[in-house]
A and B are shown apart, each in its own frame.
Chain A
Amino acid sequence: MTETTSETLHDVTVTVNGVRHSAAVPARRLLSDFLRHDLELTGTHVGCEHGVCGACTVLVDGQPMRSCLMFAVTAQDHAITTVEGLCSAPDARVAPTGESMNPVQQAFAECHGLQCGFCTPGFLTTVTAYLEENPSPTSEEAREAISGNLCRCTGYQNIVKSVLRAAEIKAERAGGASGEEQS
């Protein structure tokens, strides 16, 4: 990104998906743009940029937050997990298609929990954190858990199914049942 020369640049260092990254950015750089433009991690999608759509949701120290409602300078020294980091979670497994997927990603693939995929990074991070808090949600709870994320394709039915399926897969993997699939 080319910057207007008058703006002061701040050195920002954050850990993203376990890797330390630094960049010099203006104070007004949103965390979402920092991830996408400065670190070239374009998995995080930017929808509304005012906190409504949830597409830009990332985990900050494990908690889902809107990356469009945080400045990169404020994220200094925090640990961020983006959708790119989910595939290296301890409970991620390599699927028959060759990609490593965490239980939530696996479930969204199995249950057709996405169509165009634009909102998906936000759903995946949100649901990944939610299942840590509530490992066996009811369908009503699953619906409430995703209420802060908008999807204009699916009508949400398959996303709710995906949340419930993700909880099953997570429990199976925690039980070690599919540990041998790890390659």
Chain B
Amino acid sequence: MKPAPFEHHAPLTVEQAVAVLTEVGHDGKVLAGGQSLIPILNMRLASPAHLVDINRVAGLDTVEVTPDAVRVGALVRHAGLERSESAYAALPLLRQALVNVAHPAIRNRGTTVGSIAHADAAGEMPAILALTDGVVEVAGPTGSREIAWSDFFLGALETSLAAEELAVAVRFGRLPAGTGTAFTEAARRHGDYAMAGVGVTVTVTDGVVSGARASFVSVTDVPSVLDLGPALGGVEPGSGAWASALDDAAEAVRDHVDPEGDIHASADYRRMLVTELTRRVLPQAADRATTAPNAAFDRESAVTTLSSTPNAAFGGEGASDD
């Protein structure tokens, strides 16, 4: 449970970091928060010859809110973004999702950009980058480039970031006025990897839904966004047609996701779980869309507790998975 030997590099600028990454190529790995990387090193699932520790690189630790986006530097810890009031005011979805990322001690160290670059299908923030039409800002030997989220995630733990490139920031896109958001996930143990999770945005114009999207955790290989407009568009939240529109949305989610089964939950259970979670968060998001400024956030609603009491929603065939 100790890492294999490696050479430690501690660049002070982005240029130095990129120079080292260019020199060491595929033998190098970037260390930011290390909350995913160091367990992998400790268990010797990976043993890169070089670690490029960017913790001393200047200028990467800021959160900036612009009219279009919330820009998060590569050294911003999850906890820092979670506590940022300006980021919360601009995009409440960030905090709604971040409180689900592991435990506070992990969030104090782990970085949001690192979590996105790690590209774990069970990660919350890759899904949020997708849901907000986000962009990854990358520095490389030939200059900088931007990678749209849809071009960034290639597969489980695989991105289009080249070995000599450093992700210096991500930009989460802000949402149109009248948009409410919600996020929830379910895990066997509080703070553990989610068996399934979902974030949604619902835009309400003149009392009816004009747009709705969802993105998922642990039930798709790479983050993907499902357009729920066809299911919910034109429907007034809470009206008579709303319940059947939610059924249509749930059906669309069921068809969209492609979970794998493992020791924690079967594929069928995860599919049923994410469908139910989506059904729960859509009304929350719709509600927040009409109560400006999308502020009715409380920690309780962001964390789904799996009750041990039989629940109609979980009582169907194949749900007796515990």
Interface residues of A (CB under 8 A from B): 4, 6-8, 10, 26-28, 30, 33, 49-51, 54, 57, 60, 63-66, 68-71, 73-74, 126, 130, 144-145, 147-148
Interface residues of B (CB under 8 A from A): 1-8, 10, 31, 34-35, 38-39, 41-43, 51, 53, 55, 79, 102-106, 108-109, 189-191
Q: Compute how far the CA of A70 lies from the CA of B3 in the bound complex, rounded to whole angstroms.
A: 11
Given contacts A147-B191, A148-B106, contact A27 B39 (CB under 8 A): no
Is there contact, CB below 8 Å, between B108 and A70?
Answer: no
Q: Compute how far the CA of A26 lies from the CA of B5 in the bound complex, rounded to whole angstroms.
A: 8
Is there contact, CB below 8 Å, between A27 and B105?
Answer: no
Given contacts A65-B105, A130-B104, 7 further A-B contacts (CB under 8 A): A27-B6, A27-B8, A49-B42, A63-B108, A145-B104, A148-B104, A148-B191
- The residues of A that contact B51 with a CB separation of less than 8 Å are 27
Grouping DSSP codes into helix (H, G, I), strand (E, B) and loop, the A interface class, with mixed when no group exceeds half, is: mixed
Is there contact, CB below 8 Å, between A50 and B43?
Answer: yes
Given contacts A70-B38, A148-B191, contact A27 B7 (CB under 8 A): yes
Is there contact, CB below 8 Å, between A74 and B103?
Answer: no
Is there contact, CB below 8 Å, between B2 and A28?
Answer: yes
Given contacts A8-B7, A10-B8, contact A148 B102 (CB under 8 A): yes
B262 to chain A, nearest CB (A): 17
Q: Compute how far the CA of A10 lies from the CA of B53 in the bound complex, rounded to whole angstroms.
A: 14
- The residues of B that contact A148 with a CB separation of less than 8 Å are 102-106, 191
Is there contact, CB below 8 Å, between A66 and B109?
Answer: yes
- The residues of B that contact A145 with a CB separation of less than 8 Å are 104
Is there contact, CB below 8 Å, between A126 and B190?
Answer: no
Q: Compute how far the CA of A74 lies from the CA of B10 in the bound complex, rounded to whole angstroms.
A: 9
- The residues of A that contact B102 with a CB separation of less than 8 Å are 148
Grouping DSSP codes into helix (H, G, I), strand (E, B) and loop, the B interface class, with mixed when no group exceeds half, is: loop
- The residues of A that contact B2 with a CB separation of less than 8 Å are 28, 30, 33, 49
B116 to chain A, nearest CB (A): 18
The answer, among A49, A73, A126, for a CB contact under 8 Å with B8, is A73
- The residues of A that contact B6 with a CB separation of less than 8 Å are 27-28
Give the 8 A-B CB pairs with smallest separation, nearest first.
A148-B103, A27-B8, A50-B39, A49-B1, A147-B190, A63-B108, A28-B3, A64-B105
A98 to chain B, nearest CB (A): 31
The answer, among A6, A26, A49, A126, for a CB contact under 8 Å with B105, is A126
Q: Compute how far the CA of A127 lies from the CA of B85 in the bound complex, rounded to whole angstroms.
A: 24
Q: Compute how far the CA of A66 lies from the CA of B53 in the bound complex, rounded to whole angstroms.
A: 17
12 intermolecular pairs with C-beta atoms under 8 Å apart: A7-B5, A30-B3, A30-B38, A50-B1, A50-B43, A51-B38, A51-B39, A54-B105, A71-B53, A74-B55, A148-B104, A148-B106
Q: Compute how far the CA of A70 lies from the CA of B53 in the bound complex, rounded to whole angstroms.
A: 11
- The residues of A that contact B55 with a CB separation of less than 8 Å are 74
Q: Compute how far the CA of A12 lies from the CA of B244 in the bound complex, rounded to whole angstroms.
A: 63
Greatest chain B CB density within 10 A among A50, A64, A65 is at A65
